[in-house]
């Protein structure tokens, strides 16, 4: 059974103390049917229907469930202000529980039964890898995957798939460069998921530190919430900085387990598992102490930007006053980019026109550097900034790194201004 919501999704929250958290977490390629009437799938005179798979339940729901709710809220705001070329956006959100088998089921439903125009912001590396071939074989636009895996940037193999996140390689390199710049000589280690998420973070770190630069590496499986052995091994190795390639629940598990062992290294996390509000909800009263100085990579607007002020207003009005956090900013930023791409596709959008708009080089988004989409690259943001938690506030500290195959370069962030009240001009 799947959970489905249209237009608006209520945020799923998770809260537990450190000890309670440790206990709680213990607990294809069939062709799609042609569209009826031979028209553009998901497009009518009045609506454009799109869909996504995301974990509203399961081990990744904490924090991530709020992304689709935030995107839905932005689309409602957009629809109330005329939509895109007079069409409203109908966003179908289906729960896959962060389980690839469920992902395959719900994505087939979206394509074959709901006849969506595009899949937008499907979440998770192992989950989305299970459907990427199906979507490309059926020529369904597969936009802004909510994962930093490099698989999404293969335009020759997957011409319909486009990334949204800075890649794990980029974030790993940025975090390692910041560790080198700000804390020279410290022993850097890594704790990561046992799939391409963790593997690519290691690749990024070694891009800066060298093949032997990580003092110790430990991995975890999302099916096993007991990470005491891995955290104990990192402590024994004398790690002073631990890079985290973790989803939010396992970021909290790692930090909470270390605290129980009386160990407090510096934590450097990728953006996908670093949202302060989400982690505070998991770590509860211990959060202010355990997260002070917490370092993370990011590429979305910071808390003092005009984008965040706009999104906060939208959240209050269209998202039932849900907790406003980094996942909210992420979801609304992604939704804005889809609206921008749809507007650029013209009065009568087709899937082909949508892809042409994406690769034109004309879209801006609202990230830390201009979008990098082109005919030859489906990478959104080839850079990441560094955020640090100080006195309960998570914000940029001024370090932004652009990562290439040959170099890691310090650059200035360049967030674009808000125009037209955050609504792409028709």
Indicate if the pLDDT at residue 24 is higher than 60.
Answer: no
Question: What's the CA gap between 384 and 369, in Å, rounded?
Answer: 9
| pLDDT value, residue 13 | 30
What tokens appear for 211 in the block? Answer: 């093949």
**Residues 57, 54: Cα–Cα separation, whole Å:** 9
What residues make up the domain containing 178?
A: 168-300+386-411
Q: What is the pLDDT of residue 404?
A: 92
| Judgement on whether residues 306 and 281 belong to the same structural domain of the protein | no
Q: How far apart are CA 124 and CA 103, in angstroms?
A: 10
Same domain flag for 205 and 349: no
pLDDT at 6: 52
DSSP character string of 211-249: TT--S-EEEE-TT----HHHHHHHHHTT-SEEEEE--HH
Report pTM.
0.89
Same domain? For 196 and 275 the reply is: yes
The SS3 call for residue 248 is helix
Let me know whether 338 and 242 are in one domain.
no
Task: Indicate the Cα dihedral angle 101, 168, 65, 4, nearest 10°.
Answer: -40
Hey, which residues does 409 pair with through a beta bridge? Answer: 402
Say if residue 392 is in the same domain as residue 285.
yes
Split at pLDDT 50, 70, 90, the class of 62 is confident
CATH code of the domain containing 344? 3.40.50.2300
Range in 24-33, 184-193, 228-237 with the lowest mean pLDDT: 24-33
Q: Which of 198, 181, 334, 178 is nearest to 268 (CA)?
A: 178
* CA gap 121, 273 in Å, rounded: 17
Q: What is the mean pLDDT of residues 357-385?
A: 96
Shared-domain flag, residues 283 and 317: no
Tokens of 213: 């630069």
420 part of a folded domain: no
Q: In this model, does residue 18 exceed pLDDT 80?
A: no
What's the confidence (pLDDT) of residue 21? 40
Does the pLDDT of residue 329 top 50, yes or no?
A: yes
Least confident of 75-79, 164-168, 319-323: 319-323
Q: Which two tokens stand for residue 122?
A: 């499907």
Q: Is residue 180 part of a domain?
A: yes
Query: Looking at the structure, do residues 107 and 28 belong to the same domain, yes or no?
Result: yes
Q: Given this model, what pLDDT does residue 35 score?
A: 39
Task: Please report whether residue 425 resides in a domain.
Answer: no
Examine residue 40 and state whether it is found in any structural domain, yes or no. Answer: yes
Judgement on whether residues 370 and 404 belong to the same structural domain of the protein = no
Of 26-35, 264-273, 277-286, 412-421, which range is least confident? 26-35
161 and 183 part of one domain = no
Contacts of 418 (CB under 8 A, 6+ apart): 306, 307, 310, 366
**Token pair of 143 as six digits:** 């936009």
Q: pLDDT category, 19, cuts 50, 70, 90? A: very low
Task: Say what percent of the chain tops pLDDT 70.
Answer: 91
Percent residues over pLDDT 90 in the chain:
88
Model confidence band, residue 63 (pLDDT cutoffs 50, 70, 90): confident
Q: What is the mean pLDDT of residues 319-333?
A: 95
Q: Is residue 173 part of a domain?
A: yes
Residues 234, 156 share a domain: no
Number of domains present in the structure of the chain:
2
Residue that is written with structure tokens 């399961």 in the block: 58
318 confidence band (pLDDT: 50, 70, 90):
very high
* Mean pLDDT of all residues in 233-255: 97
Q: What is the mean pLDDT of residues 258-276?
A: 97
Q: pLDDT tens digits for 280-299?
A: 999 999 999 999 999 999 99
Residues 319 and 313 sit within 8 Å (Cβ to Cβ): no
**pLDDT band of 398, cuts 50, 70, 90:** confident
The Cα–Cα gap between 188 and 76 comes to 44
DSSP helix/strand/coil, 274: coil
Average pLDDT estimate for 137-157: 97
- pLDDT at residue 4 above 90? no
Q: Is residue 69 within 8 Å of 9, Cβ to Cβ?
A: yes
| Residue 409, pLDDT score | 95
Higher pLDDT, 5 or 306: 306
Are 37 and 131 contained in the same domain? yes
How many other C-beta atoms are found inside a 10 Å radius of the C-beta of residue 129?
18
337 within a domain of the structure (yes/no): yes
Regarding whether 314 and 407 lie in a shared domain, the answer is: no
Mean pLDDT value across residues 399-405: 93
Q: Is the model's pLDDT at 7 over the cut of 60?
A: no
Please give the mean pLDDT across all residues of the chain: 91
């Amino acid at each position: 059974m799947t959970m489905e919501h249209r237009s608006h999704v209520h945020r799923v929250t998770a809260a537990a103390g450190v000890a309670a958290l440790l206990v709680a977490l213990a607990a294809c390629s069939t062709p799609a049917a042609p569209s009826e009437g031979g028209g553009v799938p998901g497009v009518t005179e009045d609506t454009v229907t799109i869909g996504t798979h995301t974990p509203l339940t399961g081990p990744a729901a904490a924090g991530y469930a709020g992304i689709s709710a935030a995107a839905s809220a932005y689309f409602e705001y957009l629809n109330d202000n005329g939509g895109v070329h007079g069409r409203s956006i109908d966003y179908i959100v289906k729960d896959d529980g962060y389980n690839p088998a469920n992902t395959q089921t719900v994505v087939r439903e979206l394509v074959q039964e709901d006849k969506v125009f595009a899949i937008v912001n499907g979440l998770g590396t192992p989950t989305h890898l299970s459907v990427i071939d199906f979507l490309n074989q059926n020529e369904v636009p597969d936009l802004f995957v909510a994962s930093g895996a490099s698989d999404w940037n293969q335009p020759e193999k997957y011409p319909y798939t486009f990334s949204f996140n800075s890649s794990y390689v980029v974030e790993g390199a940025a975090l390692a460069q910041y560790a080198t710049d700000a804390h020279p000589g410290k022993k850097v280690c890594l704790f990561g998921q046992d799939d391409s998420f963790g593997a690519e973070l290691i690749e990024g770190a070694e891009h800066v530190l060298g093949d032997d630069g990580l003092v110790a590496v430990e991995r975890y499986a999302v099916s096993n919430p007991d990470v005491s052995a891995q955290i104990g091994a990192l402590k024994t190795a004398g790690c002073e900085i631990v890079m985290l390639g973790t989803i939010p629940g396992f970021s909290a598990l790692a930090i909470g387990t270390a605290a129980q062992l009386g160990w407090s290294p510096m934590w450097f996390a990728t953006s996908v598992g670093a949202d302060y509000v989400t982690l505070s909800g998991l770590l509860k009263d211990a959060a202010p102490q355990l997260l002070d100085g917490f370092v993370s990579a990011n590429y979305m607007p910071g808390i003092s930007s005009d984008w965040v002020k706009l999104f906060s207003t939208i959240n209050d009005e269209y998202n039932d006053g849900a907790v406003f956090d980094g996942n909210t900013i992420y979801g609304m930023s992604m939704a804005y980019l889809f609206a921008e791409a749809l507007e650029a596709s013209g009065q009568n959008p087709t899937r082909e026109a949508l892809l042409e708009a994406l690769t034109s080089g004309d879209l801006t988004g609202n990230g830390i550097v201009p979008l990098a989409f082109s005919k030859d690259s489906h990478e959104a943001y080839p850079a990441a900034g560094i955020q640090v938690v100080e006195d309960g506030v998570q914000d940029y500290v001024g370090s932004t790194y652009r990562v290439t195959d040959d170099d890691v370069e310090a650059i200035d962030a360049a967030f674009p201004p808000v125009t037209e009240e955050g609504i792409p001009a028709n």
